Amino acid sequence: MSAVPASSPRTGTASSIAIVGVLFFILGFFTWLNGPLITFVQLAFQVSEISAFLVLMVFYLSYFFLAIPASWILRRTGMKKGLALSLMVMAVGAAAFGQFATWRIFPGALASLFVLGGGMALLQTSVNPYISILGPIETAARRIALMGICNKIAGILAPLLLGSLVLHGVGDLAAEVAKADPATREALLDGFAGGIRGFYMVMFAILLVASVAVLMSPLPEVSAEESNSAPGQGGGAAKQSIFQFPHLWLGVICLFLYVGVEVMAGDAIGTYGHAFGLPLDQTKFFTSFTLFAMLVGYLAGLLLIPRYISQEKYLAVSAVLGVLFTLGAFFTHGYVSVGFVAALGFANAMMWPAIFPLAIRGLGRFTQTGSALLVMGIAGGAIIPQAFALLKHAYPEDFQMVFAALMIPCYLYILYFGTVGHSAGKARGA
């Protein structure tokens, strides 16, 4: 990729940020559909809670398997064509999911989510380093926070729209299905499942239009090698291997754990609330509460970073808040406990904006590969929630203990990365 000229006007940077903001909105919309999709899948396909959590596992594992291939594709296509291609892949996945869901073919629906996640892996691998190095790396958290606001506004809207348009009256329908004879039950479930096709076909059309729009946009190319070299590194020439950056590998682990706790707080919150006996017609909207808390967290980060606090110190503070809110959820019950889980959205908000630029700082010519490794870490959203589903099934009376036992060690590691890990292997003062 060629570098953006040093004389590029501020308006050019602003328009680039606006375009990337739209892409982050798209990412957020499809990412945060997964929470209410668990409810949809469990009823439409008549599967267990553990099987329904495969929605998260398949979706997030696609990042693990496809992030490195995505970086190879981007080297061949360049930024703009790669972004357009990612949106086209997402469009195919969205259309396929709508169709397989209507047919109630569970393996096909999961395969479609894998394709959709693959398109998002390609998109994530490009837009995150792009926005990080579009300006000074020290203020990258602010730019990513702006992107996070776009992402989380979409995340708030996604479960509200799916809940209102597709999952309306899902609690009553579940009770009706449970009492119906086999023929009536199948008719009810076919009608319910068919309601999601139109929703995903609209998404298919929007993604195709967005793909063409990005291809025709004035979005510039940015050279990671020239924009993200450590002082005296010379574009990464001084180091010959990605393994010579220990802070990157510690960051990959950190991002893996962060995405796990983010998905637990955002997508698993409905399951968590339902375990208290709260009705499905309420729990289907709980993801939006977490996303609203994240939105507030992004606004706080924009105000505080870097004027009052550095991005690494804010990351450490966020990790401490994560531990405290998790303890609050453990020691309370019902709606209050769910409220603490939703509050984790505030604690989580500025973690990605801080972890990503701290982990890729100074990688130079290895930035794209490092970014792909970090995107692979998104697989934490597959593993940690699935562990919660399995352990919750094994210990149904102790689901709060299971939740806390998974979350607190993750936040403690994030605290380590924010205080010590992000500077591992770096020369003092670099």
What would the mean pLDDT of 355-384 be, rounded to a whole number?
87
Judged against a pLDDT cut of 70, whether residue 221 lies above it is answered with no
Residue at 228 is within a domain: no
pLDDT tens digits for 230-279? 554 444 446 678 888 999 999 999 999 999 999 999 988 999 999 999 98
Residue at 234 is within a domain: no
CA distance 406 to 281: 27
CATH of the domain at 263: 1.20.1250.20
* Top-confidence range, 8-12, 100-104, 136-140, 149-153: 100-104
| pLDDT on residue 229 | 53
What HEC string does the chain produce?
Answer: CCCCCCCCCHHHHHHHHHHHHHHHHHHHHHHCCHHHHHHHHHHHCCCCHHHHCHHHHHHHHHHHHHHHHHHHHHHHHHHHHHHHHHHHHHHHHHHHHHHHHHHCCHHHHHHHHHHHHHHHHHHHHHHHHHHHCCCCHHHHHHHHHHHHHHHHHHHHHHHHHHHHHCCCCHHHHHHHHHHCCHHHHHHHHHHHHHCCHHHHHHHHHHHHHHHHHHHCCCCCCCCHHHHCECCCCCCCCCCCCHHHCHHHHHHHHHHHHHHHHHHHHHCCHHHHHHCCCCCHHHHCCHHHHHHHHHHHHHHHHHHHCCCCCCHHHHHHHHHHHHHHHHHHHHCCCHHHHHHHHHHHHHHHCCHHHHHHHHHHCCEHHHHHHHHHHHHHHHHHHHHHHHHHHHHHHHCHHHHHHHHHHHHHHHHHHHHHHHHCHHHCCCCCCC
Residue at 104 is within a domain: yes
Report cis status (omega within 30 of 0) of the bond before 136.
no
CA distance 258 to 63: 15
What would the mean pLDDT of 205-228 be, rounded to a whole number?
78
What would the mean pLDDT of 290-309 be, rounded to a whole number?
88
Structure tokens belonging to residue 345 = 């959205």
Token pair 């003092």 is found at 428
Closest CA to 51 of 43, 42, 59: 42
What would the mean pLDDT of 208-214 be, rounded to a whole number?
93
| pLDDT on residue 235 | 45
Instruction: Please tell me the total count of domains within the chain.
Output: 1
Judged against a pLDDT cut of 80, whether residue 412 lies above it is answered with yes
| pLDDT on residue 5 | 39
Residue at 229 is within a domain: no
Tell me what percent of the residues of the chain surpass a pLDDT of 70.
89
What would the mean pLDDT of 13-22 be, rounded to a whole number?
83
| pLDDT grade for 4, boundaries at 50, 70 and 90 | very low
Residue at 177 is within a domain: yes
Q: At what angle do helices 399-419 and 334-348 cross, to 10 degrees?
A: 20
Which one-letter amino acid corresponds to residue 179?
A: K
| pLDDT on residue 223 | 56
Residue at 74 is within a domain: yes
CA distances from 215 to 43, 69, 87, 150, 267 (A): 39, 21, 10, 21, 32
Judged against a pLDDT cut of 80, whether residue 289 lies above it is answered with yes
Domain that holds residue 84: 10-222+240-423
Residue at 44 is within a domain: yes
What would the mean pLDDT of 326-338 be, rounded to a whole number?
96
| pLDDT on residue 103 | 95
Computed over every residue of the chain, the mean pLDDT equals: 86
* Top-confidence range, 28-32, 130-134, 306-310: 28-32
Residue 294 or residue 225, greater confidence = 294
Which of 98-102, 137-141, 229-233 bottoms out in mean pLDDT, i.e. has the lowest? Answer: 229-233
CA quadruple 69, 70, 72, 77: dihedral sign: positive
| pLDDT on residue 163 | 87
Furthest-apart CA pair in the chain: how many Å?
74
Distance of CA 287 to the CA centre of its chain: 13
Which of 47-56, 131-140, 346-355 bottoms out in mean pLDDT, i.e. has the lowest? Answer: 131-140
Residue at 235 is within a domain: no
Which one-letter amino acid corresponds to residue 330?
A: F
CA distance 291 to 157: 9
